[in-house]
Amino acid sequence: MTQDNNKIDPNQWLADYENVLANPPEEHDFLLTEDGQPICINIEFTDGQSPFAFGRAYVPDTYGKDPEWYARSIENDSKHGWKAILTHRSRQELLRRYKIPSYNKLPIKKLRVVRKSDSGKALVVEIVEFLDQDDFEIVMAQMDIKYGTQH
């Protein structure tokens, strides 16, 4: 598909978008962000349960852009898309490496799809690459400013 909006048939673009949306990433596919920023992992804590760690996978609906799956970036607060739930091992590694900030979000570099969830409405993913420590500290400092807190 061309990037020249004047030459893209809206019906073809919509058909391509719907096709990509109907076919979520498969086992071993990697998820990166659309904007090149680190991936956002949310951590939720509920009494009596293990921490729940997840990102989001989505297909941007930007007309004229080739539709494909991306992970939500640390800069994107949208809640649309599929949950990308961390495997137990990835969650444990994430919680072992980092102190959880008050805004319950951590940046990572790359995810890989393990499988669809049992419900078929989410992806199970693993962290395959963490940010190096310097990049992690820079991103966390930016997030501290954004959320008005310190990690």
**Predicted pLDDT at 49:** 94
**Predicted pLDDT at 45:** 94
Distances (CA, A) of 11 to 28, 60, 66: 31, 16, 13
What 92-99 contacts at long range (C-beta under 8 Å, 24+ apart), as own/partner pairs, is 93/127, 94/41, 94/43, 94/53, 94/127, 95/43, 95/51, 95/53, 97/130, 98/136, 99/151
Tell me which residue range forms the domain holding 113. Answer: 5-147
Query: In the predicted model, what is the mean pLDDT of residues 85-103?
Result: 95
| Counted domains in the chain | 1
Instruction: Please indicate whether residue 4 or residue 148 has the higher confidence score (pLDDT).
Output: 148
pTM of the model: 0.88
Rounded to 5 degrees, φ, ψ at 75 are -85, -10
Give pLDDT tens digits for 5-33: 568 899 999 999 999 999 999 999 999 99
User: Scanning the structure block, which residue is given the tokens 């998820």?
Assistant: 31
Give pLDDT tens digits for 96-148: 999 998 899 999 999 999 999 999 999 999 999 999 999 999 999 999 998 88
3-state secondary structure of 62: coil
Q: Which helix (H) or strand (E) holds 126?
A: strand 122-129
